[in-house]
């Protein structure tokens, strides 16, 4: 990874002749230096996807003017869905957790080591278990209990906190509550979950026990975007580990924790680096 300040342009549009020429030509005409570029044409859907990094100091204008010019000169004519971000602006990640600690510990360790170059304005939990651990890192902790009688109010409070701290991304780091459709829809493409199975197998609760009952030989974890349909959002990243008949459900849970941590960290990194483009219920991930 280079260290110069850069802009990341990610986009998709109907496939047609001249897309790369039009985009790169716009950048070159303004003196822009392309540091990295990736492209993908989906022959089945007829959609074209791209991701480019442009060194910021080679352009004669700021990001706001880039957006305006690009919108009128390139994106409009190509019917493009696009976004552009600035590497100097850190993404703000709000972490939600329940009583399983491994993903939270891993994310905060990566954050503290600057492997994840983000801001974590707060951690939210439906239990008070990790308050001391989170506050030891200098991160505000919000305890929002969730029960049958206050579920709607609790979810509204979570959304309020997320908006108040100007969150960019919400990470469900083994947060064992289902977000309501209205919250999932309001934050579409901005909420990332780690599910402890290789989706679409074993949706819902106790997937390792489901896997044990089914006698599978591989178990895994899935990082995906949250939608109103449980565990069915666009998949960002997955991994698996081999098991055999001698492994108990407890063994699978232990093995799975390692996969969950790494899959969540990779998926979150891809998202934060604007490497994930959602198309329907699928993703294009430029690793």
Inter-residue contact 82 to 10 (CB < 8 Å)? yes
Q: Is 168 noted as a catalytic residue in this protein?
A: no
- How far apart (Å, rounded) are the C-alpha atoms in residues 232 and 55? 37
E strand or H helix at 41, and its extent?
strand 33-42
Q: Are strands 81-86 and 6-14 parallel, antiparallel or unpaired?
A: antiparallel
**Helix axis angle, 207-214 to 249-272, nearest 10°:** 130
Residues contacting 189, CB < 8 A, separation 6+: 225, 278
Active-site annotation holder among 231, 247, 250, 251? 231
Distance in angstroms (rounded) separating the CA atoms of residues 138 and 131: 11
Q: Which residues are identified as catalytic?
A: 231
């Amino acid at each position: 990874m280079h260290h110069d300040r850069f802009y990341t342009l990610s986009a998709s549009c109907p496939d047609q002749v001249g897309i790369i020429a039009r985009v790169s030509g716009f950048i070159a005409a303004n003196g822009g230096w392309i540091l990295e570029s990736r492209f993908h044409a989906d022959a089945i859907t007829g959609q074209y996807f791209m991701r480019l990094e442009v060194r910021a100091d080679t352009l004669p204008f700021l990001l706001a003017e880039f957006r305006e010019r690009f919108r009128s000169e390139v994106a409009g004519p190509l019917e493009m869905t696009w976004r552009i971000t600035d590497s100097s602006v850190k993404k703000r990640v709000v972490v939600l957790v329940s009583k399983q600690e491994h993903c939270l510990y891993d994310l905060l360790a990566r954050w503290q080591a600057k492997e994840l170059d983000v801001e974590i304005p707060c951690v939210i939990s439906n239990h008070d278990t990790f308050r001391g651990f989170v506050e030891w890192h200098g991160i505000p902790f919000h305890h929002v209990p969730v029960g049958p009688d206050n579920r709607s109010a609790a979810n509204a409070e979570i959304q309020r906190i997320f908006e108040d701290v100007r969150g960019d991304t919400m990470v469900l780091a083994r947060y064992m509550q289902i977000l309501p459709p209205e919250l999932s829809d309001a934050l579409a493409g901005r909420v990332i979950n780690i599910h402890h199975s290789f989706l679409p197998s074993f949706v819902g609760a106790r997937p390792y026990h489901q896997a044990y009952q089914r006698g599978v030989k591989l178990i895994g974890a899935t990082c995906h975007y949250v939608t109103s349909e449980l565990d069915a959002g666009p998949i960002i990243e997955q991994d698996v580990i081999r098991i055999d008949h001698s492994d108990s459900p407890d063994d699978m849970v232990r093995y799975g924790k390692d996969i969950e941590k790494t899959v969540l960290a990779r998926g979150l990194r891809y998202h934060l680096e604007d490497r994930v483009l959602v198309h329907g219920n699928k993703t294009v991930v430029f690793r």
